[in-house]
Amino acid sequence: MDTSKRAKQEYDQMVKKASPNSPIFTNCLKAFFSGGLICGFGQLLLDYFSKTNSQEDAALLVSVTLIAISAILTGFGLYEKLGKHCGAGTIIPITGFANSVVSPAIEFKKEGLIFGTGAKMFILAGPVIVYGTFTSMIVGLIYYFVGR
Amino acid sequence: MVSFLKAFLVGGLLCVIGQILIDKTKLTSGRILVIYVCLGCILGGFGIYQPLKDFAGAGATVPLTGFGYRLADGVMKEVDSSGVLGIFTGGMKAAAGGVTAAVVFAFLVALVANPKEK
């Protein structure tokens, strides 16, 4: 019993040493390149929109454009395919946020347009908006009393 | 080209941090999105995110921390211009464009697309 346990531990260590590219390393590499490319593409858009808009408007236009592209890709089921390979690279950018809204909106269509699509599209975006709004209010409070 | 590389580098690194969180802590992607938005908002509040944005451009605004920064930036500007009420309106005002775009496009796409049969 004791020896078999030890053997198992030794085996586990051997496996750890033997696998050179741990999944986390390749995952990070994929996330880096895919996420980097999405942000780089966003930068190209930003440079383009900045020609005719204020800095703030240009940033918003970039977000809206990326959200639209992500929504269309999600509609064709392509964003999920990307996501399988890219992991956080497709979750962290705003395209991932858009995907988290569009995906359940389509998925729950069978429960109706009101309580399916209408309600379930916020299943992931809801918490993001709730905690984002809450945090922004605290930031605003502190800024009001201390920051100015 | 330089701006593209900066955005690529910083945006990529922010995604790597997210990937490490997913792999090491078993946090679901939804929780990571929440953490990123709150973190961006807090860093924005402390004025730490602004320099990153100035350096990396879209590399800092496209990841969800940028959305959080937008909330913080909006609420502080609104407090400057309309006082106490700004605490209530600033964040949502700043988020309005992105949230509306996501909701409208999601609805339109959901009208057309059908869920995959499994």
Which of these, B118, B116, B78, B81, lies nearest to B95 by C-alpha position? B78
Write the pLDDT tens digit of every residue in A29-60. Answer: 999 999 999 999 999 999 999 999 998 899 99
For residue A147, the model assigns a pLDDT of 75
In a domain, B117, yes or no: no
Measured between alpha carbons, how far is residue A90 from residues A54, A70, B49, B113 in Å?
A: 28, 10, 21, 21
In a domain, B118, yes or no: no
* Chain A residues within an 8 Å CB radius of B71: 132-133, 135-136, 139
Please judge whether B80 and A105 are an interchain contact, meaning their C-beta atoms are less than 8 angstroms apart.
no
Rounded to the nearest 10 degrees, the angle between the axes of helix A122-142 and helix B29-45 is 20
User: Chain centroid to CA B1: how far?
Assistant: 24
Sign of CA dihedral A24, B34, A139, B54: positive
Greatest extent of chain A over all pairs of C-alpha atoms, in Å:
74
Considering only CB atoms, B106 lies closest to which of A37, A63, A101, namely A101
Question: In terms of residue numbers, what domain contains B68?
Answer: 2-112
Segment B38-53 mean pLDDT: 95
In a domain, B6, yes or no: yes
Considering only CB atoms, A147 lies closest to which of B42, B76, B98, namely B76
Here the tokens at position B106 are: 């999601």
Complex confidence, ipTM: 0.93
Name the average pLDDT for chain B. 93
Segment B55-77 mean pLDDT: 95
Q: What's the rounded Cα separation, in Å, for the pair A135 and A139?
A: 6
Please judge whether A121 and B107 are an interchain contact, meaning their C-beta atoms are less than 8 angstroms apart.
yes
In a domain, B33, yes or no: yes
| Distance between A7 CA and the closest CA of chain B, angstroms | 26
Note whether B34 and A131 are within 8 A (CB).
yes
Segment B22-45 mean pLDDT: 92
* Chain B residues within an 8 Å CB radius of A84: none
Please judge whether A31 and B19 are an interchain contact, meaning their C-beta atoms are less than 8 angstroms apart.
yes
Q: Examine the pLDDT at B28 and tell me if it is beyond 90.
A: no
In a domain, B11, yes or no: yes
Which DSSP state fits A21? S
| Distance between A138 CA and the closest CA of chain B, angstroms | 8
Q: How does residue B6 score in pLDDT terms, banded at 50, 70 and 90? A: very high
Please judge whether A71 and B108 are an interchain contact, meaning their C-beta atoms are less than 8 angstroms apart.
yes
Segment B90-109 mean pLDDT: 94
Domains identified in chain B, total number: 1
Which residue in B has a C-alpha nearest to residue A139's C-alpha? B45
For residue A17, the model assigns a pLDDT of 58
Q: Examine the pLDDT at A18 and tell me if it is beyond 60.
A: no
This prediction's pTM: 0.88
